[in-house]
Amino acid sequence: MNVYADILSSVLDDWVEELSGDALIEFAQLCRAQMLEVSPTRDSASTALAAELSYDRALIKVCQAHGVDVVPMRFSRPGEERARLEDELIAMGIDLVRPSKPRREN
């Protein structure tokens, strides 16, 4: 078993958010942006791991909410599985890569 996939499976049980619909999608987009902001030269490995786990957990929840087949053990290659799931969601009109609504600056 892949260690990352095993950790991801265990944190799925800790999901306590009651998010659904647009709120869940926006949360996943935020998690993805935070994951991409982590810098290997600036941040610790544990920070990077936490950011990846947060996004992958949110990605899985979005997929489950929209009937996309997702198996945490497929995350033995996280980048490939993320891309596959993001592509499936995009085909359904759900784009986690590019937020659909521009954020307003206050």
Summarised one tens digit per residue, pLDDT across range 61-103 is: 999 999 999 998 899 999 999 999 999 999 999 999 876 554 4
Tokens of 87: 């592509």
Summarised one tens digit per residue, pLDDT across range 23-46 is: 999 999 999 999 999 887 788 888
- The model's pTM is 0.83
**So where are the chain's domains?**
3-12+19-91
